[in-house]
Amino acid sequence: MYLNKAMIYGNLTRDPELKALPNGQQVCSLSLATNRSYNDRDGKRQEETEYHNVVVFGKTAENCAKYLTKASPAYVEGRIQTRSWDKDGVKQYRTEIVADIVQFGPKSGATTVVRDEDAHLPTDEITEEEIPF
């Protein structure tokens, strides 16, 4: 069995960009920043930031473009994909997360869950007590 699953929670580094594919399907690209804190060898606290490219399709893409803005917190769940293409004879690569689920972070204490219509995942709320770890 193989597994390709990514789960990240971070803040948008720019406003989402919504475009339409030639077949009319909506696609939204966004970028999330995640932070990690750790102690280095000398015991000094260090901060490290990672930037993640995210691609969202369909109705979820439309909702992301409508409700998310730069600095908005968001949780993204999906799969990792690397695309390649030639540009002026040079091979270019881009690794991104193709999102199945996008959950908008708190704005005035509320959260909104947006799911890919093809994911067929449950929409039940999970309480902290139900998490087994």
51-78 per-position pLDDT tens digit:
999 999 999 999 999 999 999 999 999 9
- Eight-state DSSP code of residue 130: G
Interacting residues of 26 by C-beta distance below 8 A, sequence separation 6+ = 18, 19, 20, 57, 58, 59, 61, 62, 65
Q: Please tell me the pTM assigned to this model.
A: 0.75
Query: Residues of 63-96 as b/e, b for ≥16 C-beta within 10 angstroms?
Result: bbbeebeeebbbbbbbeeeeeeeeeeeeeeeeeb
Nearest residue to 52 (alpha-carbon basis) of 75, 86, 21, 27? 75
The mean pLDDT value for 68-97 works out to 95
- Residue ranges per domain, the chain? 6-130
pLDDT band at 112 (very low <50, low <70, confident <90, very high): low
pLDDT band at 107 (very low <50, low <70, confident <90, very high): confident
pLDDT band at 127 (very low <50, low <70, confident <90, very high): low
Regarding the domain with residue range 6-130, which homologous superfamily does it belong to in the CATH classification?
A: Nucleic acid-binding proteins (2.40.50.140)
